[in-house]
Structure 1
């Protein structure tokens, strides 16, 4: 064999430092933030084809089915395809502050774990909506939540926490940085804090979340939606440095990142490389029954959910894994891809989630 032939063979056998678009369906991936609100075998077929496992998150959200129905859907989907579908449970804040609430909630959570749930979600209603029996607003650092959180620590169950909203929520519509936030808050004025100056500020909600994380250093904590620090990778880096027990997911916040990477691609790319062990891929894709009267979702609901999920997954892969540009309607501009190294992509899309949620393999 000639030297040239040997070199060509060696080069072909050596994996590239980066993935391409063509690698998308060949690489094992995990969507850490997804909502199944309907039993959908078409989606399970897509997940298998695209090599995705998903974590469906139950959430106490008025626009979603009741919690018992969400749980039943999750168990059915899990039974239909345990290789590709997992789920997180949640709990209701109804009756918070009344005698026995902690014990009842722990019992409900333990029952959910026994039936397959692998994590717990708390939603933005804590801090922005929920009140105790006396009418007092409840924040995440309320000591009356500590019994439940200590139980999760002891059982090694991760907590997924959606606290506050994108910082755009506190800005006038014409000052928001992304159209998807603009459309969502126009459709959900009850959560649009710019219209409610009497409500807690963004800074107050972030401070309550940080006090909670500091008080529970042994609790595995996933800051959903980039921990609501999506507007600044510098702020998120500071959060990571202060709280080593935390990770974040990217769900519904890539457009906020793309605003930043269009301003300084090297800075955003360096952030991902430095914190490659702390970031989980997620989308916030929501599979709900088609409803022409449904209010805007972020990402939006669609009548052909598998097609939309495939489109979102492939667009995100193009942005994270390749250098290729693409049109991003949410920011009204093209965005170049971050072209993250293969080893970083493997962690963000697979390894970090499997470690954080204690999954085998």
Structure 2
């Protein structure tokens, strides 16, 4: 009898061991499956990353060489400046970077507003853009000086929906050149400093009061700036459009979703507005994460970082490494971290690997299929 009980106990022991072994195997399989669905924070250096909104204003190529070790490529954006010498230098630097790193750097140009009132401005601008495309430019960036600074000979602000731009945008549409638009400013620009949601906006507008529209009520409102942009897009529905800085709708994923629905060919980048996204996710984490999942095909990673002058590559790299890694932690993990823009820690969105691949490189490669070739 005792021997029978011992055998029975042994059988139960075997069954229990097999059960736990099966559970451990199932758990390991689930963990392995999750590992395939999500990146780890430590995967950061191995993931291809395209910073699709960057400014390298020097011919020194060392920054790109070092950033390549972290898997980075760049869309190097030349921003309009009224000084013709500085305008030329910025574009020379952009093309020099592409020549030095043909598989790492692509170029987006600006066009000059100088001579706007001349009868041949349109013809000259189209000729210039044709030459830029031949040199490899992927598109054109228009900056906030349109609508906020630049005036015609009658001292009238020139808005982005001005009819004189139409033939230029028609040309770009025919040639497949993408328009990147930094039009208007973050909504914080129209608020007093103490009501702004992120520290970097507060600091920028405190240091640049000429752009702090709260101090200039005679200027077009936030809503008027975006309405001009939308009227322009309405006239050119097939113009490939990239809304810089979350399309100046950084304050609300709901408003940004409406824009993307109304303009199905438009995309946006994250440049210099990650703090506003983090601010929103502190208040409604699920809403922000759901937005990123739903519009994963319409978002490009960018920082608005850059290298401004020779000799600054090393210091710029240190600064950018902090920003890139912080953004990666926010997008790829569940970790909480402190960020410079906010007082309280922010929890990561933990986006799937497939979504991060699109945001970090897949969408840029899809939109610019001839770019960043090996």
Tell me whether 1:329 sits opposite 2:343 in the alignment: no
Q: Residue 320 of structure 2 corresponds to which residue in structure 1?
A: 309
> 2:102 pairs with 72, 78, 82, which one?
82
1:97-112 alignment, distance < 5 Å: 97-112=117-132
> 2:139 pairs with 101, 119, 136, which one?
119
Q: Given the superposition, is the C-alpha separation of residues 64 and 179 from structure 1 closer, same or farther in structure 2, using an over 3 Å criterion? A: farther
| TM-score, structure 2 normalization | 0.88
Q: Is the 8 A contact 2:82 2:113 kept in 1?
A: no
| TM-score, structure 1 normalization | 0.92
The CA deviation string for residues 288-337 of structure 1, in whole angstroms up to 9 with x for no partner, is 1289xxxxxxxxx9970111111111111111111111101211121111
Partner secondary structure for residue 183 of structure 2: coil
Q: Given the superposition, is the C-alpha separation of residues 10 and 279 from structure 1 closer, same or farther in structure 2, using an over 3 Å criterion? A: closer
Q: Residue 70 of structure 1 corresponds to which residue in structure 2?
A: 90
Q: Distance in 1 between matches of 2:290 and 2:351?
A: 9
Q: Is the 8 A contact 2:82 2:114 kept in 1?
A: no
Q: Distance in 1 between matches of 2:325 and 2:58?
A: 23
1:1-361 alignment, distance < 5 Å: 16-61=36-81, 66-289=86-309, 304-359=315-370
Q: Is the 8 A contact 1:55 1:86 kept in 2?
A: yes
State the 1:134 CA deviation. 2.6
Q: Distance in 2 between matches of 1:181 and 1:30?
A: 25
Q: Given the superposition, is the C-alpha separation of residues 265 and 63 from structure 1 closer, same or farther in structure 2, using an over 3 Å criterion? A: farther
State the 1:61 CA deviation. 3.7
Partner secondary structure for residue 62 of structure 2: helix
Tell which structure's C-alpha radius of gyration is larger: 2
Q: Given the superposition, is the C-alpha separation of residues 152 and 305 from structure 1 closer, same or farther in structure 2, using an over 3 Å criterion? A: same
Q: Residue 296 of structure 1 corresponds to which residue in structure 2?
A: none
Q: Distance in 1 between matches of 2:329 and 2:84?
A: 30
State the 1:41 CA deviation. 2.7
State the 1:13 CA deviation. 8.4
Q: Distance in 2 between matches of 1:188 and 1:69?
A: 24
Q: Given the superposition, is the C-alpha separation of residues 314 and 359 from structure 1 closer, same or farther in structure 2, using an over 3 Å criterion? A: farther
Aligned residues: 351
The CA deviation string for residues 110-168 of structure 1, in whole angstroms up to 9 with x for no partner, is 11111121111000011111112332211111111001000000001110000000000
Q: Is the 8 A contact 1:118 1:157 kept in 2?
A: yes
Q: Given the superposition, is the C-alpha separation of residues 232 and 11 from structure 1 closer, same or farther in structure 2, using an over 3 Å criterion? A: closer
Q: Residue 295 of structure 1 corresponds to which residue in structure 2?
A: none
Q: Given the superposition, is the C-alpha separation of residues 179 and 65 from structure 1 closer, same or farther in structure 2, using an over 3 Å criterion? A: farther
Q: Is the 8 A contact 2:63 2:313 kept in 1?
A: no
More helix by share: 2
Q: Is the 8 A contact 1:47 1:84 kept in 2?
A: no
Q: Which runs of 5 or more residues in structure 2 are unaligned?
A: 1-17
Q: RMSD of the TM alignment (CA)?
A: 2.3
